[in-house]
Structure 1
Amino acid sequence: MSHRSAAEIGRTVTGPREVPPLGEQRPATDLAHVDTVLGNGLRVLAVRKPGVPLVDLRLSIPFAGTDPMHPATAEVLAETLLTGTARRDRIAIDTELALIGGELSTVVDPERLAISGSALASGLPTLLDVLADVLTAAAHRDNEVRREAERIVERLAVARTQPRVIAREALQRRRYGDHPYTREVPQAEDVARVEPDAVRALHAAAVLPRNSVLVLVGDVDPDTVVGDLEKALRDWASDRAASVLPPLPEVTGDDVLLVPRAGAVQSQIRLSAQSLPRTDPRYPALQLTNLVFGGYFSSRLVENIREDKGYTYSAHSGFEFTGTSATVQVDADTANEVTAPALLEIRYELARLGLVPPTAEEVESVRQYAIGSLLIATSSQAGLVSQLSALAMVGLGVEWLVGHPLRLADVTAEQVAEAALEFYTPPRFTGVVVGDAASLAPKLAALGDVAVAE
C-alpha cells in the first residue's frame, strides 16, 4: 500500500473530507463550588473537580504601580518570593512541596502578581501553609535579591534582542502611550539598581488580600476548603487594598507606525483595535467573528496569507483582556519582501469580513470549534483554574463559564455579520510594523496610512 500525504488523506473523490459534527454538548452543571469573601477581604472561588487526587490554585493580586522603579522592583519581588521566609529557606520550601507532589511559581506583569500552585489533594494543608508563609513572611534576603536581580538582567539582555519583544513594546506604546500597562518588561539598568529594602517595602505595601482573588480547583469539598483557607490565611490581613491598574485609554484607529530595526530580514506586523469585554452580551458573537477572521487555523486570514500566498508561517488574531477593557490583536511575521503585500491582504480581509459576511456554514464551523475548545480547555484542573482565575478578576465566576457554550450556541449568522461590520473595519485599527525601514518604507508608504517612527 503506497504512502498517502496528509492532503490526500483529507480529501475524497467528491472534495475535502468533511469534519464530523460535534455530538450533543451538555453544560458542565456538576461543578460544585463556593464563591465567597474571607474575613481578610480575599475573594475565594473553590470548585470541586474529582477524578484525580490533585488540587490546583491560582492567587491573583492586583499589583499596579506608578513609580518608575516599580516594574523592576516587582520583577525582583516575584523572583525572590519563594526563596525563603523567617521559618523556611529556599531548600526547605522546595523540600516540603516535593514531599506532597507540589509546586509553587510566580509571575508578575503591570496588572497583577500571580502565584500558581498544585499538589496532591492530601497535601493541601502543607501547600496552604507554605503559601501563607511566603505571603506574610517572605524574607527577600539581601543575597537572594542580588542574585535574582543579576539573573533577571541577563534574561533581559536576551529578551530585548527578540523581535517579538521589540514588537510588543512598540505596539504597547502605540496603543497606550505612557500608561503604566506599557511597562511589561523592566529596564535592565533599573533591575540592577533594585535594593533589598525596596523589595521588602513593596511586599509590605502591595502584597495584600483585598481586591485579590484565589481560585482553587480539585478533589476537595468546597465548603471545607474555604474554612481551611480562612484558617491558613488569617494572618495575611490589612486595612488597605491591593492596587488596581488604572483604566486603559480606548484604542482608536490611526496610522500603522513603521518602527525601524536596521538590517532585519523579517518584519513583525502587529495591529490592534478596541473590542468588547466578556461581560458584554455581544461578546459571544464577537468571539465567533474573530474566529472566522483569524482566530484558528481554518480562518480567512490564515487561508489567505499562509495557505494561499505563503507570506507567513503564522498569522493569528485574538483578544487581550485587561481589567474591564478588551482589545483584539492581529499578528503576522513576514519576510521583508512580502511585508507590504501581507499588510495589504490583512486590511483586505478586515474589510471583506464586514462586506462579505461569514456564511452560515462558516459560523457553524467556528461555533463548533469555540465550544469544543472551551470544553477541552476546562477539562483539566489546570485549565479550569486558569479560566476561572481570569474570569474572577472581572467579577465573573462558574456560572458564566457554564453558561458560555449555550450563549455561543444561540449566536446567529446575522449577529456575527453585525459584529464584523462594527468591530473589524480597517479604520478602527492601529498598530506597528517592526522591520528594516530602508527596505520597507517605500512600499508601505504606497499603501497609505503608514507613518515612519522618528
Structure 2
Amino acid sequence: MSRTAEEIGRTAVGPRPLPPLGEQRAAANLSSVDTVLDNGLRVIAVHLPTVPMVEVRLRIPFAGEDPMHAARAEVLAAAILTGTEKRDRVGVDTELALAGGELSAMVDPELLAIGGNALASGFETLLDVLADALTGAVYRDDEVAGERDRLVERITVARSQPNVIARQALQKHRYGDHPITREMPEAADVATVEPADVRALHAAAVLPRNSVLVVVGDIEPKRAVAGIDAALSGWKSDQAAAILPPLPELTPGDLLLVDRPGAVQSQFRLSAQSITRTDPRYPALQLANLAFGGFFSSRLVENIREDKGFTYHARSYPEFTPHGATLLIDTDTASKVTAAALLEIRYELGRLALSPPTESEVDTVRQYAIGSLVTSTSSQGGLASQLAALAVLGHGVDWLVQHPERLKAVTVDDVAAAAAEFFAPTRFTGVIVGDARELDSLRLLGGVRFP
C-alpha cells in the first residue's frame, strides 16, 4: 500500500524532524597546472572528469583609449569566428560540431572573452580552431558587413532599454570619460566600422601576453598545457595586451537624477568604493553584503519587495576591476513610490551599520555563500568561468579552494565591522533615472541633484 508524501513526512506525534544540513565542501585536491607559456600566455588547466567534456575560457585584456575602439571591438568579437585562410564560417562551425563543441566571443571595455567546450576527444580540434582564429582570422568583407549590420540593430534596441540607460548613466557619473564607461558603443559608430579597421585592431590587440586561458575538464592538466603550447605556438608578439587603466576612487555624494521623460519607473543605481578579494576584510564584507541585499532573504529584499511591495527585484553586489572594486545597489520602482523607496534604502543601509547582522543572520548567509560557491564550481563550465574571472584579477585555483575556510572563520563581530565600514549611507553615490516631473518629492529627502 502506497503512502502520500504527507504521510511519509509525519509520525504519530507530529512531523518528522528534518535532518541537519550536511557540511558543504567546495572542490578540493584538484589536480591542476598554473603556468605561463613562452609567448606570455598564462594557462590554468584543471582535471575535473565529471563528464567527458572540456571547457575553455580565454580572456584577453582589450582596453583602448580611442573613442572608436568600442565600436571596432564589438565588430571584431562578432566576426572573429567567421573564417580564416583555412576555414570559412561553415568550415569553422562544421569542425566544432564534429568535435561536439562550440566557441563564442564577446567583448567589454576590459576584456575580449572567447569561450566554449568540446568532447574531451575533440579537444585538439577545439584548440586548432581557436588557434586558427587567433592567428589567422581574415574578417572577410561580407562577413564583417553582415555582423556589423546585425550589431547596429541590436545596439539600437538595447540603448533604448531602461536598464542600459541606467547603467550608462551610472558609469558616466562614477568615472566620467574613462574608457570603462564605453560598455556599449553608439550604433552610428558601429555603422562606420570597415573590415580594414577590424583587421588592424586584431593585429594590434589580440595578443597572448597578459592574457589567460583556462581549461577545465576530463583531461590531464599537463597534457592539456602541452597541447595548448603546441597549438598556440604561432600566437606571439613582443607587445602585451592592453590592460584597462586604473579607475578613479569613487567620491561619495548626492545622487544624480537623470531625466527620462515619460518613464513610468525609476531605476536606482547606487555605488560605493569597496575592496578586492585579496583584502583580509573581504570575506566579512561578502557576508555583510549578502545580509544587506545579496540574496532573496536579505534585509533590502524583505523590506522594499516583500513588505512594501515597491519593486519586483532588489539586490546589492560587488563589482571587480583589475585594480579595485565597488559595491552596487540596484532596483527599479514605480515613479510614485520612488522617494519612499529611496528612504527605505537609506534606512536599511543605516540599520546594517547600527544594527548589524545577528549570529543567526551570519550563519544563514555563510551557508548561502559556501553553498553558492560549491554549486557554481561543481560543473566543468561553472568552475572554468569562476577561474577565468579570478585569473584576470591575479588569483588562481588556490584562492577558490581556500575561500570556504575563510568564510567559516568570519565572526559576527567581523561582519559588524565590515557593515559599519562599507555600508554607511554617506559612502554612496549614484543615479536615479526617471521622469523628473513625477519625482519632485525627492527634494524633500535631500541628497538628490536635479537636472
TM bucket normalised to smaller: over 0.9
1:434-445 maps to which residues of 2 (within 5 A)? 434-440=433-439, 442-445=440-443
Match of 2:65 in 1: 66
TM-score for both structures, normalised by structure 2: 0.96
Measure, in 2, the Cα distance between the counterparts of 1:97 and 1:28.
29
CA distance in 2, matches of 1:20, 1:395: 40
Which letter maps to 2:317? G
Deviations 1:91-133 (A, max 9, x none): 0000000111100000000000000010000000000000000
Q: Distance in 2 between matches of 1:172 and 1:65?
A: 17
Does structure 1 residue 102 correspond to structure 2 residue 95?
Answer: no
Structure 2 residues not aligned, in runs of 5+: 1-8
Counterpart of 1:173?
172
Q: Distance in 2 between matches of 1:209 and 1:69?
A: 23
User: Do the aligned residues in 1 keep the contact of 2:48 with 2:216 (CA within 8 Å)?
Assistant: yes
Residue 450 of structure 1 corresponds to which residue in structure 2?
A: 448
Q: CA–CA distance in 2 between the matches of 1:156 and 1:18?
A: 54
Secondary structure at the aligned position of 1:104 is classed as strand
> Aligned partners of 1:433 and 1:211: how far apart in 2?
37
SS across alignment from 1:259: strand
Structure 2 distance, partners of 1:204, 1:57, is: 22
Tell me the equivalent position of 1:252.
Answer: 251
In structure 2, C-alpha distance between the alignment counterparts of 1:133 and 1:28, rounded to whole Å: 33
1:21 and 1:69, CA in 2 relative to 1: closer, same or farther beyond 3 A?
Answer: farther
- The amino acid of 1:22's aligned partner reads L
Alignment match, 2:145: 146
Q: How many Å separate the matches in 1 of 2:380 and 2:28?
A: 16
- For the residues of structure 2 that align with 1:275 and 1:384, how far apart are their CA atoms? 25
Query: Could you tell me how far apart the structure 2 residues matched to 1:137 and 1:22 are?
Result: 53
Letter in 2 for 1:321: F
- Residue of structure 2 equivalent to 1:308: 307
Q: Is the 8 A contact 2:27 2:378 kept in 1?
A: no
Contact 2:175 2:181 (8 Å CA) reproduced: yes
Hey, what does 2:22 align to over in structure 1? 23
Please give the secondary structure, in 2, of the residue aligned with 1:330: strand
Q: CA RMSD in A?
A: 1.9
Separation (CA, whole Å) in 2 of partners of 1:266 and 1:18: 45
Offset of 1:325 from its aligned partner? 1.1
Correspondences of 1:188-203 after superposition (within 5 Å): 188-203=187-202
Residues 22 and 368, structure 1, Cα contact 8 Å, conserved in 2 = no
2:441 is paired with a residue whose SS is helix
1:73 deviates by 0.2
Unaligned runs of 5+ in 1: 1-8
Q: Distance in 2 between matches of 1:323 and 1:449?
A: 31
Deviations 1:25-76 (A, max 9, x none): 3442231000000111100000000120000010000000000100000000
The residue type equivalent to 2:262 in the other structure is: G
What secondary structure does 1:79 align onto? Answer: helix
Look up the SS of the partner of 1:190 in the other structure: helix
Q: Distance in 1 between matches of 2:176 and 2:21?
A: 44
SS in 2 for 1:172: helix
2:262 is the alignment partner of 1:263? yes
Aligned letter for 2:280?
A: P
Distance 1:363 1:218 in 2: 34
Instruction: Report the Cα distance in structure 2 between the residues aligned to 1:226 and 1:158, rounded to whole angstroms.
Output: 42
DSSP-derived class of the 1:116 partner: strand
Alignment check: 8 A CA contact 2:31 2:47 kept: yes
Greater Cα shift, 20-29 or 98-107: 20-29
CA distance in 2, matches of 1:239, 1:113: 19
Q: How far does the alpha carbon of each residue in 1:235-273 deviate from its partner, in whole angstroms, 9 at most, with x for none?
A: 000000000000111112110011000011111011000
SS at match of 1:29: coil
CA distance in 1 between counterparts of 2:207 and 2:141 reads 22
Q: Which residue of 2 aligns with 1:230?
A: 229
Q: 2:384 matched to 1:385?
A: yes
Query: Percent identical across equivalent pairs?
Result: 67
Letter of the 2:282 counterpart: Y
What is the deviation of 1:21? 5.1
CA distance in 2, matches of 1:82, 1:275: 37
Shift of 1:324: 2.4
Aligned length in residues: 442
Distance 1:174 1:206, change over 3 A: same
| Residues 314/96 of structure 1: CA separation in 2 closer, same or farther (3 Å cut) | same
